[in-house]
Chain A
Amino acid sequence: MIKTVSLSKKFNEKEALRNLNLNIKKGEFYCMLGPNGAGKTTTLKLLSGLLRPAKGKIYIGGVNITLNPEEAKKKIGFIPDTPFVYENLTADEFLNFIGNIFGVEKKLLKRKIDYYLDIFGLTEYKDHLLREYSHGMKQKIVYISSFIHNPEVLLVDEPLVGLDPQAIHLIKKMLKEESKRGLTILMCTHILYIAEELADRIGILAGGKLIAEGTLKELSENMNKLSLEEIFLSLTRNSVYD
């Protein structure tokens, strides 16, 4: 579902990503771990078409995103690490706007918006401007906005920043369920326990390179180590200080 071929990205001579080869199957829950500055956000922005690759190819559901961006973008839901939204729209208006962009049918859209607002506990605020929302509430709105058009691929960057425990629980549950139902998820984080809990497969990114990949079991067998934390620390130690 998500496939990259020797994907690279430079920011003014600085290589943020080097020769990344990913191949994530349909319905797979893939977690990408890495220290700050490893290139996680860069990867997600490349996959969603926010950045242009310096080299390499990206296929989303078989569609090359550089050649056919509109087609590929229909399949993508993206949740950035900071929820920037139109502060002068109400939640309801914002979600309708997004739904219309993706061409969701009107009645279905209304049902979905009401449903998701309800389970995130935002129904009572739906006619308030988003500028009055807190960080966590905006994050919830971004989650809803990426769910309403039924994406085939969900890209999540630092998923749980600023959310309350109920929301974290809810989102973990939702992501798990959706992934079982066939949604392909690529999640980037530096919080290890989430990966342990949710991921089918884990990749470790450091200094713009993918240095290890596999299921939790494979990783720990390869490294003769038990916990993910120890694997992560020993693998990324060099890259942090180089």
Chain B
Amino acid sequence: MINFIRQRYQAASNILSIYFASHPLRLTTIFLSMNMAVLIVYAAIWAGFRFLIGLGGMGSVIISHLFYLLFFIMFFMVALSFAILYYNLSFRSKETKFLVNLPIKSRKISFLKFIESSVLAGWIPLAGFIIFIAVYSNINNLTPFMSLFSFVCIMPFLIIASAIGYLLCITILKFMNLKKGFVVICVLLLAAVLFYRYHKTSGNNILYLLSEEIIFFKISKLWFLPFSWAPWAIVHTENGNLLRAGVFLINLWSLSLLMLSLIYTYGGKVFRDLFFKYSLPAHKRSYHKNYLDKIFFLRIFPVKIANFILKDIKMFIREPVLWTQFLIFFGLLFFYFVNLQKFSYNLLSDVWKNLITFLNAFSVLCISSALTIRFVFPQWSMEGKNYWILKLSPVKVRDILTAKFILSFSALTFISMFLILLSDKMLGLKSGFMLLTAFITAVSIFSLTSFSLGLGAYFADFKKEYYLKAVESIGGVITLIVNFSYVVITIFGFTFVNHIFIIRKIPQKDTYMLLVLILWSILSIGSSFALLWIGISELKRKEY
């Protein structure tokens, strides 16, 4: 085990020193922008808190709900991305084949992969959480002890989430295959939505939204489910209830250690079985006369561009690892729409209407930005070692980028337009608001796609064997932060401007709004082109 860690450390430090020797400036820039990004996220969370606290009693109720909900969502996100990472690192990577050939116990390999996947799946949530706690304790004047304590809670929390992801992964692989597993999970989610539809609740005002009645708030606080243990422990310590906090903390650690030891003991055999089942391509299937070649959508583009789009579509569809990630997306949607349909928008005051409208747009954009990170950003790294084919081709980088852009942009626009219009409809928004949110969404999708493609090109590493790691790499995080900051700034900006219009009762509200909209669109599209340009010029300089 120590040996492996040393090897990983050596590889990382070698890469870093080579990189530093060849591009000292760029590394420094990356380092600085990471710090900047941390500050931006800190400021954004801080502003959010201030705003909620400014709302008075309701705000603090929302904060306490949010706290549990945050852990709840984080738990499932970590579990799902763990499952996907573990599958790839264990059964799809060349390194595993190499390790299996060495005289190493398979339980050790399995455990190593477990650790590796959980670090990869957990480090971004962990970093986000640390910033969150920093803001939280700053605003509530908590002692440093609290921050430390939260850290002690979050570690076993992440381990348990990973272990759940592990169980999910091996259950699907053992009893089904990826495709069936995917379908089964989707059906389960759908069934849950339908079930929840008939789980009637009453309550038609804003207080309903904040009450314990909403099923996710209820679930996220259930004391006997592990995702609530960490927030309970933190909240109890905050209130000085150390005994209870201690119980939750002990629960967390004992469950995580138990799971770790079980995985260490029994993981070996499971790993060996699955390795032989999945690491070698066994199924032979022929793809004669593919229906994809006849998609009408492609006819409108010149052959040169349609060619690349078609290739990317096929690659996507035939790579289960890629589209199984849609599960994360469905999960998010599920959380969202289930809550939305119980909501009565029309009874609200103008201030709240404004808030809810943009909050809704914010959620849709967050989902879209998660999608761009997962699917658009790795578009270039995905080419990987095959990049020589594109680099040799007598086609301008710009055309290849255009193809990728068209594909990503149209798919995302389709999804997010559907989401925003549906959710607006469910809320019962007026058509003016609907138009506004739809427009904001469209322009934002343009920017998010451009940012992800541009930065993806900038950070693409064509020597990597395993491209999905790209998302968890530094470039992925920077893109995540850029996209997220963009969404936050956009929505905060519009909410704030509109809020002021409403409060001050400004008469030419619409004219001003139009002005703000035009200005914002120009800025967005300008920065989109700037990032795309940076990406292209870096790509041209990149060697194979």
Q: Any chain A CB within 8 A of the CB of B393?
A: yes
Which of B227-235, B307-315, B438-446, B523-531 is the interface stretch? B307-315
Q: Any chain B CB within 8 A of the CB of A166?
A: no
Tell whether, in the assembled complex, residue B392 and residue A49 are in contact, meaning their CB atoms are under 8 Å apart. Answer: yes
Q: Any chain B CB within 8 A of the CB of A85?
A: yes
Tell whether, in the assembled complex, residue A71 and residue B314 are in contact, meaning their CB atoms are under 8 Å apart. Answer: no
Across the interface, B319 reaches (CB within 8 A) one of A82, A84, A88, A100, namely A88
Give Cα A101 to B310, complex, Å: 12
- The residues of A that contact B393 with a CB separation of less than 8 Å are 73, 98, 101-102
Which of B65-73, B280-288, B501-509 is the interface stretch? B280-288
Across the interface, B394 reaches (CB within 8 A) one of A52, A71, A85, namely A71
Chain A: minimal CB distance from B301 (Å): 12
Across the interface, B543 reaches (CB within 8 A) one of A51, A71, A89, namely A51
Tell whether, in the assembled complex, residue B386 and residue A128 are in contact, meaning their CB atoms are under 8 Å apart. Answer: no
Chain A: minimal CB distance from B310 (Å): 8
Docked complex: B276-324 residues within 8 A CB-CB of A: 281, 284-288, 290, 303-304, 307, 310-311, 314-315, 318-319
Q: Any chain B CB within 8 A of the CB of A70?
A: yes
Tell whether, in the assembled complex, residue A52 and residue B541 are in contact, meaning their CB atoms are under 8 Å apart. Answer: yes
Docked complex: B382-414 residues within 8 A CB-CB of A: 384-386, 388-389, 391-396
Q: Any chain A CB within 8 A of the CB of B544?
A: yes
Q: Any chain B CB within 8 A of the CB of A86?
A: yes
Chain B: minimal CB distance from A174 (Å): 20
- The residues of A that contact B311 with a CB separation of less than 8 Å are 86, 89, 93, 97
Q: Any chain A CB within 8 A of the CB of B2?
A: no
Tell whether, in the assembled complex, residue A12 and residue B21 are in contact, meaning their CB atoms are under 8 Å apart. Answer: yes
- The residues of A that contact B389 with a CB separation of less than 8 Å are 84-86, 98
Chain B: minimal CB distance from A15 (Å): 15
Q: Any chain B CB within 8 A of the CB of A78?
A: yes
- The residues of B that contact A112 with a CB separation of less than 8 Å are none
Across the interface, B287 reaches (CB within 8 A) one of A69, A86, A127, namely A127
Give Cα A127 to B314, complex, Å: 14
Interface centre among B284, B287, B319, B394 (most CB of A within 10 A): B394
Chain A: minimal CB distance from B219 (Å): 39
Q: Any chain B CB within 8 A of the CB of A90?
A: yes
Q: Any chain A CB within 8 A of the CB of B141?
A: no
Q: Any chain B CB within 8 A of the CB of A122?
A: no
Across the interface, B544 reaches (CB within 8 A) one of A45, A93, A103, namely A45
Q: Any chain B CB within 8 A of the CB of A119?
A: no
- The residues of A that contact B315 with a CB separation of less than 8 Å are 86, 88-89
Chain A: minimal CB distance from B105 (Å): 29
Tell whether, in the assembled complex, residue B281 and residue A132 are in contact, meaning their CB atoms are under 8 Å apart. Answer: yes
Tell whether, in the assembled complex, residue B314 and residue A88 are in contact, meaning their CB atoms are under 8 Å apart. Answer: yes
Give Cα A211 to B287, complex, Å: 50
Tell whether, in the assembled complex, residue A70 and residue B395 are in contact, meaning their CB atoms are under 8 Å apart. Answer: yes
Tell whether, in the assembled complex, residue A48 and residue B392 are in contact, meaning their CB atoms are under 8 Å apart. Answer: yes
Q: Any chain A CB within 8 A of the CB of B22?
A: yes
- The residues of B that contact A82 with a CB separation of less than 8 Å are 385
Give Cα A170 to B41, complex, Å: 62
Closest to A9 in B: B543
Chain A: minimal CB distance from B319 (Å): 6
- The residues of A that contact B385 with a CB separation of less than 8 Å are 82, 84
- The residues of B that contact A169 with a CB separation of less than 8 Å are none
Give Cα A69 to B392, complex, Å: 9
Closest to B385 in A: A84
Tell whether, in the assembled complex, residue A100 and residue B543 are in contact, meaning their CB atoms are under 8 Å apart. Answer: no
Q: A45-B544, A70-B394 are in contact. Are A127 and B386 (CB under 8 A)?
A: no
Query: Which bracket fits the contact residues of A?
Result: 20 to 34
> Contact mask A51-92 → B, CB, 8 Å, 1/0?
110000000000000000111011010101010111011100
- The A contact surface, by secondary structure, is mixed
Q: Any chain A CB within 8 A of the CB of B12?
A: no
Tell whether, in the assembled complex, residue A50 and residue B391 are in contact, meaning their CB atoms are under 8 Å apart. Answer: yes
- The residues of B that contact A167 with a CB separation of less than 8 Å are none
Q: Any chain B CB within 8 A of the CB of A228?
A: no
- The residues of B that contact A97 with a CB separation of less than 8 Å are 307, 310-311
Give Cα A51 to B303, complex, Å: 28
Docked complex: B1-37 residues within 8 A CB-CB of A: 18, 21-22
Tell whether, in the assembled complex, residue A93 and residue B290 are in contact, meaning their CB atoms are under 8 Å apart. Answer: yes
Tell whether, in the assembled complex, residue B396 and residue A128 are in contact, meaning their CB atoms are under 8 Å apart. Answer: no
Tell whether, in the assembled complex, residue A93 and residue B394 are in contact, meaning their CB atoms are under 8 Å apart. Answer: no
- The residues of B that contact A90 with a CB separation of less than 8 Å are 286-287
Closest to B542 in A: A52
Chain A: minimal CB distance from B407 (Å): 15
Give Cα A182 to B303, complex, Å: 30
Tell whether, in the assembled complex, residue A86 and residue B284 are in contact, meaning their CB atoms are under 8 Å apart. Answer: no
Closest to A101 in B: B393
Across the interface, B395 reaches (CB within 8 A) one of A12, A85, A101, namely A101
Give Cα A45 to B392, complex, Å: 10
Give Cα A51 to B22, complex, Å: 16
> Contact mask A1-24 → B, CB, 8 Å, 1/0?
000000000001000000000000
Tell whether, in the assembled complex, residue A127 and residue B541 are in contact, meaning their CB atoms are under 8 Å apart. Answer: no
Give Cα A52 to B544, complex, Å: 10
Give Cα A131 to B393, complex, Å: 22
Docked complex: B529-544 residues within 8 A CB-CB of A: 541, 543-544
- The residues of B that contact A129 with a CB separation of less than 8 Å are 285, 287, 318
Chain A: minimal CB distance from B523 (Å): 33
Chain B: minimal CB distance from A75 (Å): 9
Interface centre among A78, A85, A98, A101 (most CB of B within 10 A): A101
Across the interface, B286 reaches (CB within 8 A) one of A12, A98, A128, namely A128
Interface centre among A51, A73, A86, A103 (most CB of B within 10 A): A86
- The residues of B that contact A85 with a CB separation of less than 8 Å are 386, 389
Give Cα A102 to B392, complex, Å: 10
Closest to B18 in A: A12
- The residues of B that contact A131 with a CB separation of less than 8 Å are 281
Tell whether, in the assembled complex, residue A101 and residue B307 are in contact, meaning their CB atoms are under 8 Å apart. Answer: yes
Docked complex: A202-238 residues within 8 A CB-CB of B: none
Give Cα A101 to B390, complex, Å: 9
Contact sample, A vs B, 20 pairs, CB 8 Å cutoff: A49-B391, A50-B391, A71-B394, A73-B393, A80-B388, A84-B388, A84-B389, A85-B386, A86-B311, A86-B389, A88-B314, A88-B315, A88-B318, A93-B287, A93-B314, A100-B307, A101-B304, A101-B394, A101-B395, A128-B285
Q: 8 closest Cβ contacts across the A-B interface?
A: A127-B286, A73-B394, A84-B385, A88-B318, A100-B307, A50-B544, A127-B288, A74-B394
List the interface of chain A (C-beta within 8 A of B): 12, 45, 48-52, 69-71, 73-74, 76, 78, 80, 82, 84-86, 88-90, 93, 97-98, 100-103, 127-129, 131-132
Q: A50-B543, A102-B393, A128-B287 are in contact. List 10 more A-B contacts (CB 8 A).
A: A12-B21, A49-B392, A86-B315, A89-B311, A89-B315, A93-B287, A93-B311, A101-B394, A127-B287, A132-B281
